[in-house]
C-alpha cells in the first residue's frame, strides 16, 4: 500500500522548445507550440533525506517528492532491479555496466511508470467517474448504427 504524503516539489511546467511556462496544477498536454513540457522542481540537495527513502515501499511512488501531489493509482510500478551485465561491459570496454530490468513492471514495460502517473493525474483532475462505467458520448455516436 502506498501512503500519500502530498509533498511534491513540482514547481511548474516549461516548454522544451519555446520556454513558455504554465502551472502544473491544471490538466495539460503539449505546449501551444506543439512541443512537450518539462517538469521544473523547487528542490535542493538534502530536501529528501536518504533515511526517508529507506522506509518507503519499493515502487515509483517512493520518490513522491518528484511526482505529482495526488493520491496514486498504482499496480506497484517501479522498484525494478538493476542487473550487472559483465559480458556486455567487457565487449563495450567499460568497467561496469548496469541494465534496468523494466520487464518486472506490472505491464512488462518501462511505460508502466508514465502511465501510472498519467492515470493518477486523470483521476486527480477527473471530470468523469473512475473507472469509466459507460462509453463517452462521442464514442457512442462513432459506433452507433445509422
Least distance to Zn ion from the beta carbon of 36, Å? 9
Cβ closer to Zn ion: 23 or 109? Answer: 23
Per CB under 5 A, does 75 bind Zn ion? no
Euclidean distance between CA atoms 126 and 27, whole angstroms = 9
What b/e string do you get for 113-129 counting C-beta neighbours within 10 Å, with b at 16 or more?
bebbbebbbbbbeeeee
Return d(Cα 55, Cα 105) in angstroms, integer: 21
Distance separating the N- and C-terminal Cα atoms of the chain: 48
Provide the edge-to-edge strand list for the sheet that holds 21-22: 21-22, 10-15, 37-41
Name the segment binding Zn ion (CB under 5 A); options: 13-21, 50-58, 75-83, 102-110.
13-21
- Residue 45, helix vs strand vs coil: coil
Is residue 35 at the binding interface for Zn ion, with CB under 5 A as the rule?
A: yes
Give the binding range for Zn ion (CB under 5 A) out of 1-9, 23-31, 86-94, 124-132: 23-31
Piece in contact with Zn ion (CB under 5 A), picked from 1-9, 18-26, 94-102, 134-142: 18-26
Q: Which is nearer to Zn ion, 35 or 70 (CB)?
A: 35
Interface with Zn ion (CB under 5 A), residue from 9, 12, 14, 20: 20
Binding site for Zn ion (CB under 5 A): 15, 17-18, 20, 31, 33, 35
Amino acid at each position: 500500500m502506498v501512503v500519500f504524503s502530498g509533498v511534491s516539489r513540482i514547481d511548474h511546467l516549461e516548454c522544451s522548445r519555446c520556454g513558455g511556462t504554465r502551472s502544473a496544477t491544471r490538466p495539460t498536454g503539449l505546449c501551444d507550440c506543439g512541443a512537450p513540457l518539462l517538469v521544473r522542481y523547487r528542490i535542493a540537495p538534502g530536501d529528501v533525506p536518504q533515511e526517508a527513502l529507506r522506509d518507503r515501499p519499493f515502487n515509483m511512488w517512493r520518490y513522491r517528492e518528484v511526482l505529482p501531489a495526488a493520491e496514486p493509482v498504482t499496480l506497484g510500478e517501479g522498484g525494478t532491479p538493476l542487473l550487472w551485465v559483465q559480458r556486455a561491459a567487457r565487449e563495450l570496454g567499460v568497467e561496469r555496466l548496469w541494465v534496468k530490468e523494466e520487464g518486472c513492471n506490472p505491464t512488462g514495460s518501462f511505460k508502466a511508470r508514465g502511465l501510472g502517473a498519467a492515470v493518477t493525474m486523470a483521476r486527480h483532475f477527473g471530470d468523469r467517474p473512475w473507472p469509466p462505467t459507460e462509453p463517452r458520448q462521442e464514442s457512442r455516436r462513432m459506433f452507433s448504427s445509422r
